[in-house]
Amino acid sequence: MKLATLLLAALMATTHAGEVRVTKKGEGWELLRDGRPYLVKGGGGSRELASIARAGGNSVRLWGDEGLGETLDSAQKLGLTVCAGIWLGQVRQGFKWNDAASLERQQKHVREVVEKYKSHPALLCWALGNEMEDPQGKNTDVWKGIESLAAMVKQLDPNHPTMTVVAEIGGEKVQNIHKLCPTLDLVGINSYAGSASLPERYRKAGGTKPYLLTEYGPAGVWETQRDALGAYPEPTSTAKAETYRRAYQAAVLGAPDLCLGSYAFLWGQKQEVTATWFSLFLTDGSRLAGVDAIGALWNGRPPEHPCPTIEPLKIDSTVGKPGAVIHAQLQASSPTKEPLKVEWYFQQDPGEYGNGNDAQAAPPILHEVVVKGDLTGAEIKLPSDGGLYRLFAIVRDAHGGAAAANTSVRVDAPKAMPTKGAKATLPLRLYGEGGAPATYIPAGWMGDTKAIQIDPANATQPHTGRECMRCEFSAEKGWGGVVWQNPANDWGSQGGGYDLTGAKRLTFWARGEQGGEVVSFEYGIIEKKQRFPDTGSGSLPRVKLTKEWERYEIPVSGQDLTRIKTGFVWTTQGAGKPVVFYLDDIQWE
């Protein structure tokens, strides 16, 4: 016993405090933290850290470095580690991985983050980017860029592993990572419907590096077939719990030589397709059965108060005319016979779900449609507007547990043109620290798009916080611009947008790199001739920027703000040299 204690003390003496290593173990791999084996048992998202610890987990994953310091401190108090994500430019958003200036700015940002947090005792590893590759992983510039960053990070911080995170492993992703990124210690893989077969597919693709299952959960809509109504059927929270269990058993426990742990998605709440599709929690913090299933795998025991179970909803008619009454049947129970309560609500189905896993605005809820409802079922009177809807049943117990199910209903009538967007809570931040996720996305690139570069995480003298947005138009002639849209990539053919009624002003801060840059700013550019136009507009034409930060305001007085789909726009013209400027703290007040 004394000898073992002395050997352990000697090992610790030669190990840097908080050191994390990826090492060979027989024919496979092992993660060591402070010299001890460490299987990652984690959740993705920073909003429910205490619940990770309560469930027997040990780690949390972040996608970007905003709020990293606060999360590291909170995790340390709870005995958790942090997989520190650093957001990198994405191919789908137009980032050019062969542009030297863009890569230099990105490298500078990565360096600053690593140098600032590399000694934090809660740090587990560095995750360089998330799904920034092209769909088939053929763009070798991406992998060469990742390798360059990984080499720099290893030099700055030799005590923590590096990895990059990819969306599944199709195409040439595995081959190119192994060939072009030798410095990476780990491969992070986001896998949903394919998670159970991931180890087999990874080996067949030539994968020999150890991996972390960095996202797993229910199948996404991209992996799901529409039903006869044109809707994507969502499994119940009870069924999803089994999905989480199978994925963990197959992809993590089933490949101990390659898989060093996992992060369940999403350890929090997010509106994506629905408010419950990927969420392990409800908006009020109630946990769903997936948390129980994952926790039982982590700590080897079931929860004291398991979540309610719920069966798929049954309705007597999936299609009806306006005013028709339909009935839904509910089967839900508590495994420990706890008393339950139920909430019923009826909600428009968004129909369009965006791309890139961006969160979305929640569609309106029609409270008046539910005539009555209890734990046996509900009576619904269909609304006058046609289209696709979802009926939700949310069952809760007295111990913070919940169950969720929904089913689709189509109203057989013309679909009314929505005249309003989702009601926004003001102030609404479009960019800057503290901004709400998924409001308006800078996805609408106009003019000479090849000459446009935007870096949303630039650390060059931000107005507030740690970052600002760098914008560049490099063409000597012509024009270009970027539109903040909701939905992303829509120019008037889809609903969406936000009801900004009550806003008094649209403000932002801007500065030029050299001073004298001329840029026009506006909002509401989708014209009335489109099916879903902006209801109001305003502009600040030809603003001459200075080298210092200045606050600007676009007037909104007298405008109809009930549906603003393009919440912010900048445009500029070629000036014989690149036009470079910075934006920060864009918000509707």
**Tens-digit pLDDT profile for residues 545-559:** 999 999 999 989 899
Predicted pLDDT of residue 13: 40
Contacting residues for 413 by C-beta, under 8 A, at least 6 apart: 321, 322, 384, 385, 386
Mean pLDDT estimate for the chain = 92
CA distances from 370 to 236, 318, 367, 390, 483 (A): 20, 15, 6, 12, 39
Q: How confident is the model at residue 9 (pLDDT cuts 50, 70, 90)?
A: very low
Q: Which residue has the tokens 């990984």?
A: 150
Q: Which residues contact 551 (CB under 8 A, 6 or more apart)?
A: 507, 508, 509
pLDDT grade for 466, boundaries at 50, 70 and 90: confident
Q: Contact 421/498 with Cβ under 8 angstroms?
A: yes
**DSSP state letter for 528:** T
Q: For residue 466, how far is the Cα from the chain centroid? A: 20
For 383-512, strand residue ranges (E) read: 387-396, 402-411, 422-423, 428-431, 441-447, 452-458, 468-473, 479-485, 498-499, 505-512
Q: According to the model, what pLDDT value does residue 353 have? A: 60
Q: Does residue 255 have a pLDDT over 80? A: yes
Res. 438 pLDDT band, cuts 50 70 90 = low
The β-bridge partners of 299 are none
Q: How confident is the model at residue 7 (pLDDT cuts 50, 70, 90)?
A: very low
* pLDDT for res 271: 85
Nearest in space to 393 (alpha carbons), one of 331, 443, 472, 444: 331
The answer, yes or no, to whether residue 5 has pLDDT greater than 80, is no
Task: Enumerate residues 6+ apart whose C-beta is below 8 A from 222.
Answer: none
pLDDT digits (tens, 9 = 90+) for 79-109: 999 999 999 988 887 788 998 888 998 999 9
Percent share of the chain, pLDDT over 90: 80
- Please say whether the beta carbons of 105 and 84 come within 8 A: no
The dihedral over CA atoms of 138, 144, 145, 146, expressed in degrees to the nearest 10, equals: 90
Q: What is the spatial order of strands in the sheet that 20-25 belongs to?
A: 20-25, 28-33, 36-37
CB 498 within 8 A of CB 422: yes
pLDDT beyond 60 at 358: no
Q: What is the token pair recorded at 371?
A: 């005539």
Per-residue pLDDT tens for 307-343? Answer: 999 999 999 999 999 999 999 999 999 999 999 999 9
pLDDT-derived band at 55, boundaries 50, 70, 90 = very high
Peptide bond into 456 cis (omega under 30): no
Residue 16 has pLDDT above 70, yes or no: no
Q: Which tokens go with 141?
A: 């510039």
For residue 208, pLDDT beyond 90 = yes
pLDDT on residue 4: 47
pLDDT at residue 437 is higher than 80: no
Decide if pLDDT at 360 tops 90: no
Burial degree of 512 (CB within 10 A; 0-12, 13-18, 19+): buried
Token match 């797993």: residue?
A: 216
Residue 459: pLDDT band (50, 70, 90) is confident
**pLDDT > 70: percent of the chain:** 94
- Which pTM value belongs to this model? 0.80
What is the pLDDT at residue 346? 96
Mean pLDDT is lowest, of 82-96, 125-139, 228-242, for: 82-96
Least confident segment among 185-194, 336-345, 435-444 = 435-444
- Per-residue pLDDT band at 489 (split at 50, 70, 90): confident
Residue 146's nearest CA partner among 188, 112, 208, 115 is 188
* 125 vs 211: CA distance, rounded Å: 12
How do beta strands 40-44 and 36-37 pair?
unpaired
Mean pLDDT of all residues in 435-458: 82
At 470, list the tokens.
């760098």
CA distance 246 to 253: 10
**Is the pLDDT assigned to residue 52 strictly greater than 80?**
yes
